[in-house]
Structure 1
Amino acid sequence: MYPIVRLTKELIKYRNAPPLKPDGVHVSHHICWPWDIDLWMELNNGRTLTLYDLGRIPLGHRAGLLTALKRNRWGLTVAGVSVRYRRRIRPMERFEIRSRLAGWDTRFFYIDQSIWKRSGECANQALYRTAVTGASGIVPPPEVAVEMGYDGTPPRLPEWVQAWIDADANRPWPPDYDEAELAKGG
C-alpha cells in the first residue's frame, strides 16, 4: 500500500521549509516500520523505491516544482531508475533520505537519492530519470526550470550520471528475447 499518511506528514512538516536552489539537498528522517520489511526481516527493495517518494516529493515542493506543476496543470512520471543496495535496514531502524537534483538534459530531470543509516553508512542509492508531462507530452526541462524560477540553464551533470544515461541509451527496447526459446518454455 502506498504510504499516503507518511507522505502527507512529510509535506506538512516541510511546507514552510526554506526554498532549495537547484543544487540543494533535502534531508528527511524515517523509521523502517514492520510493514516495510520483507521475508528476510529487512527493508524490502521495492518498498525502498516507494519510500524515496518521501524525499523526492518534498524536494520538488522546496525547489518550486510542485507550484509550477499546479500552475501549468503538468504531471510527473518516472522514466527510469538505477539502484545500488549495499547495507540492510532492519525493522524499527531509523534512517535518513537525502535527495537532490543531479541535473537535467533536453528531456529529463535526474534525481540522486540515498538512504543513510544512523551510523553514517550509506545503505543504498538510487538515480531516477523523471519527466514533467503536459497535454502534448514531455515538457522540456529548461521550460520547467524557468517556471520554477531558474534561468533554464542546466547544471553540468556529474560524470557518473552521464555515463548511466549513455549506457541506458544502448539498452535494447523492447527487451530482446529469443522467441524460439520462449516457445519451448524457457
Structure 2
Amino acid sequence: MTRMIQLTKASLLPRRAVPGRGALEPSTTTLRVHPGDLDLYFHVNNGSYLQMMDVARSNMIADLGGFSRLHAKGWYPVVAASTMTYKRSLQLFDKVTLTTRLLGWDRRVVYIEQVFTVADRFCARGWVAGRFLGKDGSRIDPSDVVALLGDDAPVESPALPDDVAAWARAVDVAHREAAAG
C-alpha cells in the first residue's frame, strides 16, 4: 500500500521539472526499503521492485515537465512488458538509488532501463517496454511522445543495446514490419 500512495503522489503531485533535462538523460529516484516491501524471507518482494520502478518512471516524466504535456494531449503510459535481473537483495531500511533512463524506441514502444543500487553497489536491473495510449485507447506513436517530453529529443531513436533488442523480439513487443503480401 505504501508504494501505491507514493506512486499516486509522484503522478498527481509530481516533483518539479529539472531545467534543461534531456529525454535521454538519466533520472534518479532515492527510496527507502519499508517493512511492507519485504516478503516472508525478509528481503524485498519481487513485486515491490516493480512498484518502485513505477514511482521512478513517474519521477522521470516529472523531471521532463511531462505530466502537464501528457495530460493536455490526453495521453497516459502503460507497461507492455518488463523483465528483471537480480544480483543482491535489498534489505529493510536500505537507501536505494533507482536510475531510470530511456534507451530508445520503435514504432510500438519506448524502452527504459532501471537500475537499483545501494551505496553504489549494483543490486538489480529492470527493462520496461512502455506504450502511451490516448483517452480513446488508441496507441500513440512513441516518437510523438518522445518529441513531446524532450525538447532536445532526437528524431531517430538511438540504437538499442543488442540484449534489449533481443529481449524485445523474444517477448514480441518490438515493432514488426508488415508482412509482404
- Structure 1 length-normalised TM: 0.81
5 Å matches for 1:7-156? 7=7, 8=9, 14-118=15-119, 120-134=120-134, 135=136, 137-148=138-149, 149=151, 150-156=153-159
Report how far residue 152 of structure 1 moved. Answer: 3.4
Over residues 33-83 of structure 1, what are the superposed CA-to-partner deviations in whole Å (9 max), with x where a residue is unaligned? 111100000111111100111211110122343233111011211000011
- Conserved in 1, the CA contact under 8 Å of 2:2 and 2:36? no
Equivalent residues, number = 169
Q: Which blocks of at least 5 consecutive residues in structure 2 are unaligned?
A: 174-181
Displacement of 1:168 in angstroms is 2.0
Superposition deviation, residue 146 in structure 1: 2.5
**One-letter code aligned to 1:123:** C
Residues 33/21 of structure 1: CA separation in 2 closer, same or farther (3 Å cut): same
Give the residue type in structure 2 aligned to 1:82. Answer: T
Shift of 1:14: 3.3
Report the 3-state secondary structure (helix = DSSP H, G, I; strand = E; otherwise coil) of the residue aligned with 1:169.
coil
**Higher Cα radius of gyration:** 1
Q: Please, what is the CA RMSD of the aligned residues?
A: 2.2
Summarize the Cα distance change of 1:136–1:94 in structure 2 as closer, same or farther, 3 Å threshold. Answer: closer
Partner AA of 2:172 in structure 1: A
CA distance in 1, matches of 2:65, 2:158: 17
1:52 partner SS: helix
- Residue 157 of structure 1 is matched in structure 2 by 160
- Distance in 2 (CA, whole Å) between partners of 1:144 and 1:10 is 17
The 3-state SS of whatever aligns with 2:171 is helix
Residues 4-39 of structure 1 deviation map (CA, whole Å, 9 limit, x = unaligned):
443426986831433421220111211101111000
Give the stretch that moved more between structures: 153-162 or 40-49: 153-162
SS of the counterpart of 2:91?
Answer: coil
Q: Distance in 1 between matches of 2:169 and 2:96?
A: 32
Q: Higher relative contact order at CA 8 Å, sep ≥6: structure 1 or structure 2?
A: 2
Contact 1:19 1:64 in 2 (8 A): no
Identical positions, percent: 24
- Partner secondary structure for residue 116 of structure 2: strand
Which ranges of structure 1 fall in alignment gaps of 5 or more residues?
171-186
CA 33–163 in structure 1, closer or farther in 2 if over 3 Å, else same? same
TM norm structure 2 = 0.83
Q: Confirm or deny: 8 A CA contact 1:28 1:55 kept in the other structure.
A: yes
